[in-house]
Amino acid sequence: MERNNLIITLITGGAVLIILALILKSTLIEIAQPTKDTISSTGTAESKIMPDEAAVYLTIETLKGTADESRNENTAISDRVMASLKILGLEDKNIETLNYNIYPEYDWSENKQRLKGYKTVNSLKAKTKDFSLLGKIIDAAVDAGVNRVDNIQFELSSELEATAKKDALERASRDAKEKAEATARGLDVKLGKIVSVSTQDYYYQPFPIFRGGMAAEAKEAIASTSISPQELETRATVSVVFELK
């Protein structure tokens, strides 16, 4: 028994020594391969671009005693709105449902909760490349039963936005590289390979014509507004980390 215990102790001790040797070897390797020096650079690109699309954000609200009544009336109004917009030449792809919701509405007067009914809210986005249609879209939608116009603004179509984004990111990347190269020359060093790249943000700000209100207000605002698009600002930021040779 004592001989067996001695063998086990020797084996255990040997295993500990092997583990310690591996840890020491790993530590020595890390010490022998220090982290290389790097340069970080951030590039930006800003530009202006003319919008090629106008968007009208519409809301249809109905309040009825039951959820079915509210939903059915809202559906009827929505169908009329869709039909009116299609008469103007808008296709299904130009009319998008952004939000649809049905919920109970309560009156909290006199510290009591009273059910007023069920409200159905259907939010739509109608877009067009023909800016001269904006007034007609508002008139047609309001006449068909739209309660509220939430916003009217000039935007970039998905195709133009994708092109603008690629261009902005490309120019921001070049800006980041040029800054890093200038810094390296000033330090009398040379850039090595890229360690990491991150795009911090890309955005553009749509130009609003009308910021939201009741349907009648929107009709009046469009009638009295000169509908002419303005340039939209785009911006992109790219951060790059380079190794130094």
What are 155-194's pLDDT values in tens digits?
A: 999 999 999 999 999 999 999 999 999 999 999 999 999 9
- Whether 41 contacts 183, CB under 8 Å: yes
Cross-strand pairs, 41:
240
Using the predicted structure, report yes or no on whether residue 118 has a pLDDT greater than 70.
yes
Q: Give me the pLDDT at residue 189, please.
A: 93
Beta strands in the chain (DSSP E): 38-49, 53-64, 95-107, 114-128, 148-155, 191-204, 207-210, 213-214, 232-244
Of 192 and 8, more confident: 192
Q: Give me the pLDDT at residue 200, please.
A: 79
Nearest Cα neighbor of 167 from 71, 48, 84, 74 is 48
Using the predicted structure, report yes or no on whether residue 35 has a pLDDT greater than 90.
no
Those residues whose C-beta lies under 8 Å from the C-beta of residue 110, and which sit 6 or more positions away, are none
Using the predicted structure, report yes or no on whether residue 31 has a pLDDT greater than 50.
no
**Residue 118 DSSP SS3:** strand
Furthest CA-CA distance within the chain = 105
Vertex 229 angle, CA 224 and 234, to 5° = 140
Average pLDDT over residues 223-228: 66
Question: Which pTM value belongs to this model?
Answer: 0.72
Those residues whose C-beta lies under 8 Å from the C-beta of residue 53, and which sit 6 or more positions away, are 127, 128, 129, 154, 155, 156, 157, 160
Task: Give CA separation, 29 vs 25, 26, 36, 168, 208, in Å.
Answer: 6, 5, 15, 43, 61
Query: Is residue 86 very low, low, confident or very high in pLDDT (cuts 50, 70, 90)?
Result: very high
Give the helix, strand, coil percentages of the chain, each rounded to 5.
45, 40, 15
Tell me whether strands 95-107 and 114-128 are parallel, antiparallel or unpaired.
antiparallel
Q: Give me the pLDDT at residue 225, please.
A: 60
Q: Give me the pLDDT at residue 21, please.
A: 45
- Whether 183 contacts 234, CB under 8 Å: no
